[in-house]
Chain A
Amino acid sequence: MSQPESAVADAQAGGRGGQEPLAKLAARYGLRRAIARPRFPVYVRQLWERRHFILTYATSRNVSKYSSSALGQLWQVLTPLLNAAIYYVMFGLVLGGKGHIHNYPAFLLTGMFVFTYTQRSVTAGAKSISGNLSLIRALHFPRASLPLAYTIQELQQLAISMGVLLVIVLITGEPIALTWLLVPVVLLLQTLFNVGAGLVMARLGASMRDLNQLLPFITRTWLYASGVFFSIQEKVVGTAHLPQSVADVMYYANPAASYIEAMRDILITSDGGHTPPDSVWISCVFWAVFALCFGFWYFWRAEERYGRG
């Protein structure tokens, strides 16, 4: 089969009548290869130039997402609330996870809402490339726009559920405190982490097609390890009699647990209260910076390969 192939190549070369090779012709007129990955700083700048697209895309997805259901955007609040109600009954009342936790409803809901934000960003990120192949095969834009838009979409949803959370926390008897001003800071750090995690998942999801099937199990395990409905400190050190270092690892090696812990320390102050300790802050900042930098770099490395299928 290879012989006719080369025959035509010869014919074509002959047909060109001894012209210069096409690659040289291209170089002479300054034509560039259609596919090339831009250098990293250029890539970030291109991404910044696409910020309007990213924002509009996120908003549009949010608007269209619930357009077919009767309750519409209300589901953004209802879903985490219903989840929290189930966990409250199961773990708080039936299994007695409540323990000695002060203001358990606020404790549970804060954990639930904060964890849901990260969980949804990770899940959405994994689908952002593999679910948009037709868009990637039709238009030019830095591909990181897609996972970014998905995280921003989750952030927009979080803004609504955060308002609900604050109201519920007030109802459960927490006073409004000055420390609440730190809420946006924690959310910002968490968002940076989510962006990074979303980018990593986007690249993984683009090549590993089974990831979407596995993710629910991974995120559920993550949920249980993050102490959303129990206190890690109490269970690990108090009940299981493990050394304090195990609990520390569970807090600081798990970004979700760090963000949950920080948010609880800020919101739940009626037990005397304390702002998050330095170690929690360090963990929050570290995970945000690390995930963001690594995520962008990792995603950018495969930029020209997305969309090949």
Chain B
Amino acid sequence: MAELTEELSLVKAEEPAVAGTDGKAKAQPKPAAVSAAQPKPAATPPLDVPTGTPTVIVDDLHIIYRVYGAASDVEKGNAVNALTRILRRQGRPQMKEVHAVKGVSFVAYHGDAIGIVGRNGSGKSTLLRAIAGLLPPHSGAVYTDGQPSLLGVNAALMRELTGERNIVLGCYAMGMTPAEVKEKYQEIVDFSGIDEFVQLPMSTYSSGMGARLRFAISSAKTHDVLLIDEALATGDREFRKKSEQRIRKIREEAGTVFLVAHDLRVIEETCNRVIWLHKGKIKMDGDPKEVLAAYNKG
């Protein structure tokens, strides 16, 4: 507990996460970078505000996940244990609540490209899903202009089907009309660069080709607010350039882009503002260079 309190004093208001992850937090005490741990006020106005009206407002957002996972080591899932648990009227041990986002507030403006950085499990993806309106907030609220959409039709695609069928399926899943699908089809094939592989099932694709097709499909639609979760990590260099250009284009066309990536270079090149999430809270928010420098030190 001593370590934990120490950490608490460094990182203001660091609430221990779920009971389950508590131990983990203790096990790897942070290389406490005192300079980085001084949180800047979270709602610093972003640098080039004046151009824009707000498009996304996140107001003291808390997200609590319910996770059904394997039981702990103590209580492996055998039938006798399950029965005694029911008899004693205990809840399912498999069900855990994860407090993934703890009181995040910020305002995003028209024309912003916001990078979100943080360690694994710091709540980046959860925050994106909440902004997209796919995860109901536990408390607080997300206000948006138009419909934010997550870049990622992966879940709708089926590996056994040909690229051709998947393009059509993916486009419909994003809410296009048949006319739009017809119009975009060739563009998607060209952009992904998979050529004649479009006739083959996606299960035969290399991971790079699959990623390219998925990015091509999901970026075919114009979005008011676009949320990108690690989409640029895969693909070769040429394709990465292409997709960076496309993100820039989307940013010009529409409104606001949120980008989660572990590759900080991508964030530095595409974003004009970076939010650093740490254990579900905003640790820093502002100019990419400043935040990334602090993040690299921490």
Q: Which A residues contact B (CB, under 8 angstroms)?
A: 1, 4-5, 7-9, 11-12, 14-16, 19, 21-23, 25-26, 29-35, 49-50, 52-53, 56-57, 60-61, 63-64, 67-68, 132, 134-141, 209, 304-305, 307-309
Contact = CB atoms under 8 A, between A and B. Distances in A.
Interface string B171-211: 01111011000000000000000000000010000000000
B53 interface: yes
A139 B174 contact: yes
A34 B154 contact: no
**Residue of A31, A134, A137 with highest tally of chain B CB at under 10 A:** A31
Contacts of A140: 132-134, 147, 149, 175
B12 interface: yes
Nearest to B176: A52
B285 to A, nearest CB: 10
B54 A29 contact: yes
Interface string B42-76: 11100000000111111110000111100000000
Contacts of A21: 59
Contact of A4 (B13, B107, B141): B13
B144 interface: yes
Nearest to A31: B143
Contacts of A137: 129, 134-135, 155
5 contacts: A26-B59, A34-B143, A35-B136, A52-B172, A309-B67
**Residue of A12, A304, A305 with highest tally of chain B CB at under 10 A:** A12
B12 A141 contact: no
A309 B65 contact: yes
B3 interface: no
A32 B43 contact: no
A132 B134 CA distance: 13
B14 interface: yes
A52 B133 contact: no
B160 interface: yes
Interface in B11-49: 12-16, 39, 41-44
Given A15-B44, A209-B68, A64 B160 contact: yes
Given A31-B57, A209-B68, 4 more contacts: A22-B143, A139-B150, A139-B174, A309-B65
A16 B42 CA distance: 8
A144 to B, nearest CB: 15
A218 B9 CA distance: 57
B155 A134 contact: yes
A246 B13 CA distance: 68
A308 B136 contact: yes
A249 to B, nearest CB: 35
Contacts of A50: 172, 175
A270 to B, nearest CB: 44
A35 B133 contact: yes
B161 interface: yes
A66 to B, nearest CB: 9
A234 B56 CA distance: 67
A16 B45 CA distance: 8
